[in-house]
Amino acid sequence: MTRESVLDLTLVSPSLAGKIQDWIVLPDLGSDHYSISFTIAGNTRPLVDNPSLATAYNTDLADWGMFSEKLKSAILQEEESSIAITKLLDKASKELTKAVAEAADLSIPKRKVGARAKP
């Protein structure tokens, strides 16, 4: 039996590319999707200065259909180009990041940060 192949991809900036370690695809977690796990080697400085910004979206209330539609639309609007050259890959990474953020802004409510929130 032939199994369909799926590309497992992690996009990082050039400054982080050499710091990715322990990259693995995690075993089936009871979903149609697999998770990717990796470590970013470096100093102990947090990757996000304000942890409340890391969970800005309330994914429990997300309109995933709308998110998917907006993301596909944004990606398809970009002209087709070969990404064999590093500069084009970096540009494609930035465009994908922007498309995901825009789709999230339009389809996922942001969490409300309370007065007692920890920084």
How many domains are contained in the chain? Answer: 1
**69-107 confidence digits (pLDDT tens):** 888 887 776 655 444 556 677 778 888 888 988 999 999
Task: Flag whether 81 is in a domain.
Answer: yes
Task: Flag whether 44 is in a domain.
Answer: yes
Question: 40 by DSSP, 3-state: which?
Answer: strand
pLDDT the model gives residue 1: 46
In whole angstroms, what separates CA 114 from the centre of its chain? 26
Which range marks the domain in which residue 43 is found? 14-107
Q: Which two tokens stand for residue 60?
A: 């429990």
Whole-prediction pTM = 0.36
Question: Which amino acid, 108?
Answer: I
Task: Flag whether 1 is in a domain.
Answer: no
Decide if pLDDT at 50 tops 80.
no
Task: Flag whether 39 is in a domain.
Answer: yes
The residue to which tokens 């990757």 are assigned:
47
| Helices marked H in 6-117 | 14-17, 51-54, 64-77, 86-107
Task: Flag whether 3 is in a domain.
Answer: no
Task: Flag whether 102 is in a domain.
Answer: yes
Neighbouring residues of 81: CB distance < 8 A, sequence distance ≥ 6: 88, 92
Q: Which two tokens stand for residue 31?
A: 């979903």
Decide if pLDDT at 38 tops 60.
yes
Task: Flag whether 80 is in a domain.
Answer: yes
Task: Flag whether 117 is in a domain.
Answer: no
